[in-house]
Amino acid sequence: MLMSTKANRFAHLLLKARASGSLIAPLSKAENLGQDDAYAVAKCLMDFRIAQGEVPLGRKISIGQQQEMPMWAPLFDTSVQFAQENVALHSLAKAQLPRLAPVLVFKLGRTPNAHCTLTELADCLEWMAHGFEIMVSPYRGWEFEQADAIAAFGLHRGLVVGEPRMLSAQTRRNLDEIVACASVSVSCGIKGNSALCAAGFGSDLPASPLHALWQLHQQLQQQNSFTALQAGELITTGSWTEALPVKRGEVWSSAFSQISLPGLHVSFS
């Protein structure tokens, strides 16, 4: 486990890189960085941000094909934006190699029991929305180990949230099946010309959004440095496509099929 002084040093290095928009070598190049070490750095970053007045709003989850447990990072009020009529503007100033990921966003209406089942966890959900997560990497070429990503804010920069849709009891009971039947398409437009860039299918996700949330809930029971999931939190549940490079001047749009969620339109400046 990293000594607290080294975790603090890495946290300050990452904060400085983000503030300047500069790139650094992966932390794992200088240190044998394990997952617990990475979360120690993440905890330092979280404490610094809270001390500076930022307010935690929830968590972001990402889970790959080979991951047994999700990687997560906190969401803060300074990085979450609710789109007005599903249209938003996002500045890429000092963004480090920015990419975009289409995600689902859940809001917890009730605090889940520590040992809740998947069904009981679903009953705690209040609403669902579509979101675009803006991801960044302080590491050149997006080349890093998983521990590097955890330490570096979970690669999270911002989250644009579309219009929430309240979840009925029946929808919550059948959420996995509903999402598995859905798909999303993502397009990029420049100066009025738009092209399809990616499509994702709920059935192809490494873990269903609800199962990813349940995995995070279980994981947090073992991470004593962090609070468990609480009522009111926003949770993103992983990208439906590969993260797509974005640039200033582009307008990105999404559309869902087989699920009642409106698409998003985000312009980058």
Per-domain residue ranges of the chain = 4-268
Query: 3-state class of 189 per DSSP?
Result: strand
What is the rounded distance in angstroms from the CA atom of residue 60 to the CA atom of residue 79?
A: 11
pLDDT surpassing 90 at residue 229: yes
The total of other beta-carbon atoms located within 10 Å of residue 107's CB is 21
Which two three-digit tokens encode residue 61?
């989850």
Which two three-digit tokens encode residue 17?
């890189």
Tell me which residue has tokens 């949230």.
161
pLDDT surpassing 90 at residue 30: no
pTM of the model: 0.95
**Is it true that domain 4-268 has CATH number 3.40.50.300?**
no
pLDDT surpassing 80 at residue 8: yes
Binned at pLDDT 50, 70 and 90, residue 191 comes out as: confident
What is the rounded distance in angstroms from the CA atom of residue 62 to the CA atom of residue 43?
A: 18
Report pLDDT for 67: 64
pLDDT surpassing 70 at residue 1: no
Report pLDDT for 69: 75
Q: Is 221 exposed, middle or buried (0-12, 13-18, 19+ CB in 10 A)?
A: exposed
What average pLDDT does this structure show over 140-145?
Answer: 95
What is the rounded distance in angstroms from the CA atom of residue 192 to the CA atom of residue 116?
A: 49
Query: 3-state class of 65 per DSSP?
Result: coil
